Amino acid sequence: MGKLAADSIENGDIVFIGASTTNECLMKHIENKRIRIITNSFYIFEQYKGNKDFELILTGGSWREKSGAFIGEITDRILAGIRVDKCFIGANGIKDNNITNSNKEEAGLQKIIMNNSRENYVLIDSNKFDLKDLYTFYQTDKVNGIITDSGLNKNIKEKYGKYTEIINIAR
């Protein structure tokens, strides 16, 4: 999944990579590209720091230990003023035309940065399709693609392919 996401990143892009264990796999696949990375994830920041190919920006904000994310009013204000070329977001579930998260503040900041991005991608494990969580933060038909693993059932791929492009390695 990390390779599929990294393939869409071009030299010179400004990229937001959201807090998620799935998004943490992007780093090892971004090679020979001079890009600017903005993140609210402490763990992604730790992976990328020191890499001379990237300009790295950590948003700051209130620390949410469960997800390793900075969230809240400070983070929202920072993201509201930022425009990015591409945004990579994780989610807890996708159900019909809804992309969901369990935390209201994380869902809010995801919506803000997705509204400020030219292209949006959701990275999500195949077992999270047809699942919903508490907060809907975006619609499936408004993203450029959903990047998932090869375990996605053909029928589920067809169902969600009506909303947006499903990007995965076929079995």
**pLDDT digit string (tens) for 90-119?**
999 999 999 999 999 999 999 999 999 999
pLDDT digits (tens, 9 = 90+) for 18-48: 999 889 988 889 888 999 999 999 999 999 8
Residue 105 covered by a domain: yes
d(Cα 81, Cα 88) in Å, to the nearest integer?
18
Residue 170 covered by a domain: no
Domain that holds residue 46: 2-161
Residue 13 covered by a domain: yes
CATH number at residue 132: 3.40.50.1360
Give the confidence band of 53 by pLDDT, cuts at 50, 70, 90. Answer: confident
**56 within 8 A of 48, measured Cβ to Cβ:** yes
Residue 171 covered by a domain: no
Residue 76 covered by a domain: yes
Domain count, the chain: 1
Residue 115 covered by a domain: yes
Residue 151 covered by a domain: yes
Residue 37 covered by a domain: yes
